């Protein structure tokens, strides 16, 4: 797997699959079979089998002969997406501008842009009914130093319509603003994730590498969620900074520049 983590391969795969289960990745189609996973992670099937046994022991999946492997009810909710009112609100007047500027300073590769039916976790975060149409987009942003982030976004079709070509031309927040969205605020959660095989390939890191994980729900002035973002960032090329005052105001900034990248190389 090409990773330096001091863990057995089956345990690394278990951690990656557990995170994907918690994100609801397999809620609709089930967990891929042992043969497919072995090819994805480039390991023997017995290694996959050990990882799956750990997931079964944790009560995250159910394995039935002839029926496949499926997430157990509640597996994704144990680390579910934050609802818009579940976290401390951040004042985003400066942050949104900073994020847009970051988008203008980086190049983007649109991997996919399709209209899908909102999975339950996505629908909950966007305050819409499960199954409502949403624009799902997968993008990789890069600096001159190389790939920076792997971004998955969901936007209700009722909020804005845009094309893949639009995403290749302008940052998504600018497209939403052009569609008439007046931004009011956002809820953001920052944590850590391990790179799976797909993300590792796009970000040019080893499978199992630690990544900075950002989940952001952007709302309009009427508190309606208009965008859900799930971003995975290389920590050597991305920095998130908060300025906190003693009276409670927050000025948040993200930094992506050649100077920052040089500090980590």
Taking residues 19-24, report their average pLDDT.
80
- To the nearest 10°, the Cα dihedral for 197, 199, 201, 207? -40
Which pLDDT belongs to residue 187? 86
Topology, domain 93-263 = Chorismate lyase (3.40.1410)
Assess contact for 96 and 188: CB atoms under 8 A: no
Helices vs strands, H then E, count in the chain: 9, 10
> Can you read off the two tokens belonging to residue 74?
């509640």
Which of 116-120, 169-173, 244-248 is the most confident on average?
A: 116-120
Assess contact for 56 and 158: CB atoms under 8 A: no
Which position has the higher pLDDT, 99 or 214? 214
> Does residue 132 have a pLDDT over 90?
yes
How long is the chain? Answer: 265
First to last CA, the chain: 23
Residue spans per domain, the chain: 9-79, 93-263
Among 26-35, 61-70, 101-110, 164-173, the minimum mean pLDDT is found in: 101-110
Taking residues 32-53, report their average pLDDT.
89
User: pTM of the predicted model, to two decimals?
Assistant: 0.64
Which pLDDT belongs to residue 160? 92
Which pLDDT belongs to residue 217? 93
Give 258's pLDDT tier (boundaries 50, 70, 90): very low
> Does residue 3 have a pLDDT over 60?
no
Which pLDDT belongs to residue 1? 43
List alpha helices for the chain, DSSP H. Answer: 9-22, 34-41, 45-57, 93-105, 120-126, 164-169, 172-178, 197-203, 258-263
Burial of 184 (0-12, 13-18, 19+ CB in 10 A): middle
> Does residue 103 have a pLDDT over 60?
no
Select 9-79's CATH number: 1.10.10.10, 1.20.120.1770, 2.40.240.10, 3.40.50.10860.
1.10.10.10
> Does residue 13 have a pLDDT over 90?
no
Taking residues 77-103, report their average pLDDT.
47
**Tokens 């993008």 belong to which residue?**
139
d(CA 96, CA 214): 14
Which pLDDT belongs to residue 57? 84
**Tokens 């999975």 belong to which residue?**
119
Taking residues 117-128, report their average pLDDT.
93
């Amino acid at each position: 797997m090409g990773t330096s983590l001091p863990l057995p391969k089956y345990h690394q795969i278990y951690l990656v699959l557990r995170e994907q289960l918690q994100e609801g990745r397999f809620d609709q189609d089930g967990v891929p079979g042992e043969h497919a996973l072995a090819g994805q992670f480039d390991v023997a099937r017995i290694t996959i089998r050990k990882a799956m046994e750990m997931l079964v022991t944790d009560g995250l999946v159910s394995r039935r002969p002839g029926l496949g492997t499926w997430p157990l009810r509640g597996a994704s909710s144990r680390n579910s997406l934050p609802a818009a009112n579940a976290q401390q609100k951040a004042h985003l007047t400066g942050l949104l501008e900073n994020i847009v500027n970051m988008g203008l300073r980086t190049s983007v590769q649109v991997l996919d842009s399709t209209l899908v039916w909102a999975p339950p976790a996505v629908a909950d975060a966007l305050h819409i009914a499960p199954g409502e149409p949403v624009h799902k987009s997968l993008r990789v942003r890069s600096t001159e130093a190389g790939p920076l982030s792997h971004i998955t976004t969901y936007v209700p079709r009722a909020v804005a319509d845009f094309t893949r070509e639009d995403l290749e031309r302008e940052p998504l927040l600018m497209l939403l603003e052009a569609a008439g969205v007046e931004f009011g605020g956002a809820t953001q959660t920052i944590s850590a994730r391990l790179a799976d095989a797909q993300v590792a390939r796009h970000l040019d890191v080893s499978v199992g590498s630690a990544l900075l994980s950002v989940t952001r729900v952007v709302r309009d002035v009427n508190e309606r969620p208009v965008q859900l973002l799930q971003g995975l960032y290389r920590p050597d090329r991305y920095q998130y900074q908060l300025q906190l005052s003693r009276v409670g105001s927050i000025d948040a900034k993200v930094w992506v520049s050649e100077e920052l990248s040089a500090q980590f190389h």
